[in-house]
Amino acid sequence: MKLFKHYFWKITLLLLLFIAMGLVIWLIVNIRNLYKTGELRPAREFHGNYIHTQIISSDQIQAWMTFSYINYIFNLPPNYLLGALNIKDNRYPNLGINQYAKEKKLNYVSFLASVKGFVNQYTKNTQ
Amino acid sequence: MSSLFQNILGFLLVYKYIALFFIAFLSSLGIPLPAGSSTMASAAFASQGYFNIFFVLITGALGNILGDVSMYVLSRKYGKKILYWFHLRKLVESKPLKQVEKMENNYSALAIIISRFQDQATAMVNVIAGLGNIKFKRFVIYATIGDILQIIFYASVGYFFAENWQAFYNTMGIFSWLIVLIATIISILLANKFARKMFK
């Protein structure tokens, strides 16, 4: 017991260092895997040029996104989604998909799917 | 991605810099909000041209610094009173604690700067700094340096990885725990140094 008390802090420190090293290895492996799979690629060169590493598709639209953000990312006309989805809300386009679906008591999964559908349709038509 | 963070992202997209300021401010006060990840997301939006990167850096840093200073002042003014109220007067007025407070002023820089990289550690260190009576000027300087470094780090990740920032977001959890561990190791090493000096 005395011996344990004497070495308590050293043992604790060693344990913490061991865990820290494990975390460093885990972090490196994680980043390497993400890089290999192509999920983690810098989208910007250090000189400042923006490179689209992934083609942004309508599948990437998520419920937390606002209509304003979607309009900007997909280069949609400001009132395209307003008309297509028949949105009646003064806050449009500064309104989240999830928020709108919740407030209008719509099924948010099908609402999100229809947003994706209209964006997809627009991008296909303009290509 | 947690539903809380999804709600925060929606809030960020609607209220932009005001939202980022409040998230950073409240997080420094100890409210469990993901300030680092919000900065990373805002910088990613800036990379896509939806936000302005300079406003992201300025509002994020301002929110963090003001939150840190507010927590420090509150803790310094009312911290001991609250501890007395919990009948911990003996502990607050004990000799070893007073000596630790004196020495804390000399070794606090590293702990304050490193802790800025982990939201929960930031709030805890702010309270300890206020209770330990670390000099106001010293605290503000170190907290500002730490906050600026933290904002630059998270914003760089978001800005350079742009639409891929979500892949990096999951890895950030491991990174922030690593920071806490390193801070703990440094604290133990410093505590041993204090103890050796005290009992010389």
pLDDT over threshold 70, residue A48: no
pLDDT of B61 above 80: yes
Q: Does the pLDDT value for residue B55 go beyond 90?
A: yes
Say if residue A36's pLDDT is above 70.
yes
Residue A31 CA to residue A74 CA, distance in Å, equals 29
How near does any CA of chain B get to the CA of A125, in Å?
23
Residue A39's identity, in one-letter code, is: E
- What mean pLDDT value characterizes chain B? 81
**B4 vs A: CB within 8 A:** no
C-alpha atoms less than 13 angstroms from C-alpha of B36 in its C-beta half-sphere: 25
Task: Report the pLDDT value the prediction gives residue B104, as an integer from 0 to 100.
Answer: 60
User: What is the pLDDT, as a whole number, of residue B42?
Assistant: 93
Q: How confident is the model at residue B194 (pLDDT cuts 50, 70, 90)?
A: low
Positive or negative torsion for Cα B177, B180, B184, B190: positive
Measure CB to CB from residue B177 to each of A23, A66, A95 and give the nearest one.
A23
Quickly count: other Cβ atoms within 10 Å of residue B170's Cβ.
12
Residue B56: pLDDT above 90? yes
More confident residue, B83 or B17: B17
**Global confidence as pTM:** 0.78
Cβ distance A30 to B161 less than 8 Å, yes or no, reads: no
- The amino acid that residue B103 corresponds to is M
Cβ A42–B181 below 8 Å, yes or no?
no
Q: Which of B7, B48, B174 sits opposite A23 (nearest CB)?
A: B174
ipTM value > 0.90: no
Instruction: Looking at the complex, report in whole angstroms how far the Cα of residue A121 sits from the nearest Cα belonging to chain B.
Output: 22
Chain A CB within 8 Å of residue B55 CB: no
Range 109-148 of B in CB contact (< 8 A) with A: none
